[in-house]
Amino acid sequence: NGTLQQWRHYMAAPGINGIAYRAGLDVLEEGLEVLYRVSDDNLSKAYVVDVPLPTGPWRAVMSAPNAFANECFLDEVAAALKKDPYEFRVGFLAKNSALRGVLELAATKAKWGSALPAGRGRGIAAQVYHDSLVAMVAEASVLAGRLRVHKVVCAVDCGRVIHPDMVAQQIEGSIVFGLTSLFNEITYKQGRVEQSNFYDYPILQMSEM
């Protein structure tokens, strides 16, 4: 009937340098659960799989890839139902929801729904990590096969802030790393990773930001 009725999310992944094995499944389950109350029996479950490819922590360990899976799939559902991705999300959240608050603030500051130059689009996503609520809106385009992110707007509710500059640095740094991952990659040769540090895996420079 044009609505999302149920959510089942199963994830299988290797342990992170053994962390997942020592700490149970807690690490793999970071950010795994969908943020939106789709039904009363939402289910998310993680399984550790032993694979020969070693992995290590990225920013926020498993929260980032789990958020990517959840939020991208939610966009696919919204597109299939011909729903606005922002309105679709807040439709699953109570009026007094703190997560709804950050989504609404990010959308407002990004002027969600306003006209964009030809060829540009906006995307929105949210995540909760260690009780910090974050929503971001990205404005992007693809020109001659090249992706360009023109603007990122972020709203954060991390509780009481002791050092505002540190919070801003953490968020700005996460945006830099996220954008870097769109233009960079880890490659293997004869079973070994070819990159070893930021000199051969460069993050975006000031001029590129």
For 135-149, how does the pLDDT look when each residue is reduced to its tens digit (9 = 90+)? Answer: 999 999 998 888 999
pLDDT at 17 over 80: no
Q: Helix-strand-coil percent breakdown of the chain, rounded to 5?
A: 30, 25, 45
Are the beta carbons of 49 and 14 closer than 8 angstroms? yes
pLDDT band for position 120 (cuts 50, 70, 90): very high
Residue 181 has a pLDDT of 87
Per-residue pLDDT tens for 146-160? 899 999 999 999 999
Helix, strand, or coil (residue 88): helix
**C-alpha to C-alpha distance for 64 and 129, rounded to whole angstroms:** 9
What secondary structure does DSSP assign to 142-196, as a single string? Answer: EETTEEEEEEEEEEEE-SS-S-HHHHHHHHHHHHHHHHHHHH----EETTEES--
Asked whether the whole model's pTM tops 0.85, one would answer yes
